[in-house]
Structure 1
Amino acid sequence: MRGTQFYYRRRVPGDARSLIGRTEIWRSLRTDSLKIALRRLPVAMAQVEAEIEHSRWMAGLPHDQTLFEPSPDDAAAKRPTIRDPAPVEQVATTPPVQPSSLTFGDAYERYLADPTQAWSARTRETYETSRKLAVSVIGKNVPMHTLARAHCRDYIDVLRFMPRNAAKRFPKLTARQAADRARKRGDTDLISAANANACIANLSTFLNWAVNEELLARNPIRGLRLPDETAKKDKRFPFSPEQLRAIFDAPLYRGCLDGERGYAKPGDERPRNARFWVPLIGLHTGMRLNEICQLDVADVRMVDGIRCFVITEDSIAGSSDKNLKTGASERLMPIHQNLIDCGLLHFVEEQRRSGQMKLFEEIDPGTKGVRAVAFSKWFTQFLRSCGAYQPRTCFHSFRHNFRDELRDARVDHDLAMALGGWTSGSGKRGASENYGNGHRVSALHEAVSALTFRDIDISHLAWNAR
């Protein structure tokens, strides 16, 4: 007994412990009467045995199928099974479709339509992309209750040979056909292990939901992932001092033909547009590319007497196109003196006087409303044009440079995390972060003012040097 209730306890056999994820299974008999508990005990035992045997079947181990799938002429065929549960005490439920008849595709659509999921539009879009891929490979009409480890391993095998941008490059091929083509041709331009594992993680999240919704007994993809030979710290590098000099000594910053197609050719023009400002802001704030591209003019304002970037999804100007990566991303970033010396506040005032809502209105939001996409493509071309392109460096490298600057200035760790909008190593903010009002703006400003950026000289960009 536990408290006043009787329970049935079953030790999980050794070969099934890793499959079920525990050493014991407990089932409440939902009564404090010994007489009633003894009557209900055989039903609970049958359910637990069926669950253990079902896990063996899903893992491809030897199993006794009659324990969870009785033959039609079995006199006991009405006893409870994993796929046709008959609970000891009926609880009112109203699912329109029984789990045994629900397909993989239908279940995935239910998951994405679940109103209890508080996803951002961008996260939902990512999950929808993963859904289309998984349904394409595994099959929309596969009965949900038959989903097994073999389906998941087949899905991962397709991911191993999935070409980059397969949908755009091979619009007439299915995902499996594109992967088979790459496998036969020995193509090497494939999605990274990190991207493949992200797809696997998204599918696993769905299957965990399915387990909680009692559509599956266990998650068949649990524990599966592709080995990633690239260490996490090596996935992106900061820009080297040589790269930074190549970037900020490029014609765009020294003098070019114009700020559009002539940005890479020497000339007399010194345009102060998004292409000029976004990299400078990235270096001096460590802000993510989309955080910069989606700034409203009103997001540059005084807070406690200090000029700041206000990084938030909210807009006092009526804009509704902003998204942040995590809750920790919402923050204040005092503006570094280098940016003020380069004339950033003059630029902001010009945008305000012209009635612009967005700080960088000229950046195309594209069909999905994500301004960073178009700018990222241009920035890659810019790096190549100025000779700064190197593998594993991109706009996000500015964020790594900023973190190194915080280390060099010996900025307190908590302050550094707040300035960068970083979470703890676990990916979740600690409980202590829910207490207090956060850091004073003056403390953030003091930390930002300590950053020297000594690897790069941008004195030629000063407003009074024009």
Structure 2
Amino acid sequence: MPIGMCLRGGKFYVRRRVPNDAILAVGRIEIWRSLHTDSLETALRRFPRVASQVESLIARARFGAGMSVDQMLLDPLIEHRGRNDPAPPNWQNISMETGVHGDGDAPRVDRLVLGPTFGEAYDRYINDPTKGWSDRTRESYVTCRKVATSVIGASTPMADISRTHIREFVEVLRLLPKNAAKRFPTLSPRQAADLMRHEKAPSLISTANANTYLTSLSTFINWSVNEELLHRNPARGLRLPDQTAKRDKRHPFSVDQLRLIFHAPLYVGCLNGERGYAIPGSEYPQNARYWVPLLALHTGMRLNEICQLDVADIESLDGIPCISVRSESLVGSRDKRLKTAASRRIVPIHRTLVELGFLAYVADQGRGQQTKLFDEIEPGPKGARSVAFSKWFTQFVRRAGACRERTCFHSFRHNFRDELRASRIDHDLAMALGGWTVGASGRNKVSENYGHGHRIRMLSDAVDGLEFADIDLSHLKR
């Protein structure tokens, strides 16, 4: 095929990249013109005339015709010329350059395809093989695409995306209800948002979630700029103001809450470890419900990091019992994922966990030839094992009388961070233990040195320095 002809969707097109000095005048980065045929032979005959028409459009815009390309398409003179006039002079040049000679049966100048549509470009981005998305990341982009296309329109030419489109998207995000797809399955996101305008106390997604959608869209548009589908990012700098200060979003559990949690029947004797976990009794279950909160308090690990642990992730490194937080599995598990690159880390096991029998529990799981440390935790619809446990923990805290505003399972991580501060643990070591990001690279600098004895020892010494003095768990030592 000659340069400038391409096949898309089973049809042939003329594709012309607009010269840089004409982009502002033309109002486009690319011009696509349908040749209205799936026959290569017919397309080759039509190509010179249609390509010449595109060149004429660019020339008129560049040299002051005073009309945009869209206006030119509505110009009767252009239409008449495209159908009946002899080929303009540069048709001959195109024929000579491409070796293709047309027979004059060019189609009507009635459609201009300006590069891929918004929906097509988004699909191309999501399916870009160079990205290497995790399933979770890919799903988040698919979700954002659904919302964005409902507002902007999947058929909108990518080259037409403007600041106005993005502001419309922001306005929908501002009023988007929680769980919109489940609550309003027959409504589009825009319609669901419009419905919330009339609610007195609407239940909306958080500002943080709204900004996550906006960041996701902006990342896609940055990719589009790099792919030369747009010449700038119209979403740049747009964010919804968050009225909640970052440090006020989640609180650590108070000493009183921790006392209620770890003195609940599950820890001091319950009917059973299943439905009877909140009913006083004589059973002391050693299961995920028992160990996951204790691990969170003493390691600062995220809920899903704990729930997805393999038995093999509990190992002795230089004689020190440790938890290896990693996305890869030594036993073939395919459900593990980490939040950031810094999340990969080694966490020495706190002496309190050892005294409570955690290593004995791990050994029992290993003897049972189980792959997962907490095999009873089932993966959620998207593979995350934390989903069901998070729902159960919310009920558990409520029944224990420990429910307070701005606290949730993640509060254990805040307790761990506060304990690191109170124990005056070196900042870099603290960041390494918690898997928090250090620096603009988004990586944990200390974690890159794991594997050497003195590093493990330093981490172990730091963990040993955590006293948790305000939390009495002596009743759990049996």
TM norm. shorter chain > 0.5: yes
Letter in 2 for 1:355: Q
Alignment of 1:334-413 (within 5 A): 334-413=348-427
1:259–1:271 Cα contact (<8 Å) kept: yes
Distance 1:50 1:243, change over 3 A: same
Q: Which residue of 2 aligns with 1:329?
A: 343
- Shift in Å, 1:373: 0.7
1:193–1:228 Cα contact (<8 Å) kept: yes
2:29–2:231 Cα contact (<8 Å) kept: no
Letter in 2 for 1:162: L
- Taking the aligned partners of 1:351 and 1:339, their CA distance within structure 2 comes to 16
- Shift in Å, 1:432: 8.8
Match of 1:253 among 267, 272, 275: 267
Distance 1:348 1:436, change over 3 A: closer
- Shift in Å, 1:136: 1.8
- Whether 1:299 aligns to 2:300 is no
Decide which structure has the larger Cα Rg and report it: 2
- Shift in Å, 1:186: 2.9
Q: Which residue of 2 aligns with 1:310?
A: 324
Q: Which residue of 2 aligns with 1:446?
A: 461
- Taking the aligned partners of 2:113 and 2:302, their CA distance within structure 1 comes to 43
2:431–2:444 Cα contact (<8 Å) kept: no
- Whether 1:455 aligns to 2:470 is yes
1:282–1:288 Cα contact (<8 Å) kept: yes
- Taking the aligned partners of 1:159 and 1:269, their CA distance within structure 2 comes to 48
Match of 2:198 among 168, 180, 184: 184
Stretches of structure 1 lacking an aligned partner (at least 5 in a row): 1-42, 55-63, 78-89, 91-97
- Taking the aligned partners of 1:349 and 1:368, their CA distance within structure 2 comes to 30
- Report how many residues are paired: 398
Alignment of 1:235-250 (within 5 A): 235-250=249-264
Alignment of 1:126-205 (within 5 A): 126-205=140-219
- Taking the aligned partners of 1:407 and 1:228, their CA distance within structure 2 comes to 27
Aligned CA RMSD, in angstroms, stands at: 3.0
Q: Which residue of 2 aligns with 1:414?
A: 428
- Taking the aligned partners of 2:348 and 2:444, their CA distance within structure 1 comes to 24
2:300–2:413 Cα contact (<8 Å) kept: yes
TM-score by length of 2: 0.77
- Shift in Å, 1:433: 7.4
Letter in 2 for 1:451: L
- Taking the aligned partners of 1:258 and 1:114, their CA distance within structure 2 comes to 50
Secondary structure in structure 2 of the residue aligned to 1:308? strand
TM-score by length of 1: 0.79
Q: Which residue of 2 aligns with 1:94?
A: none
Stretches of structure 2 lacking an aligned partner (at least 5 in a row): 1-18, 31-64, 83-97, 99-111
Q: Provide the identity percentage.
A: 58
Letter in 2 for 1:192: S
Distance 1:217 1:306, change over 3 A: same
- Taking the aligned partners of 1:424 and 1:453, their CA distance within structure 2 comes to 25
2:432–2:446 Cα contact (<8 Å) kept: no
Q: Which residue of 2 aligns with 1:233?
A: 247
- Taking the aligned partners of 1:376 and 1:432, their CA distance within structure 2 comes to 30
Q: Which residue of 2 aligns with 1:66?
A: 67
Secondary structure in structure 1 of the residue aligned to 2:316? strand
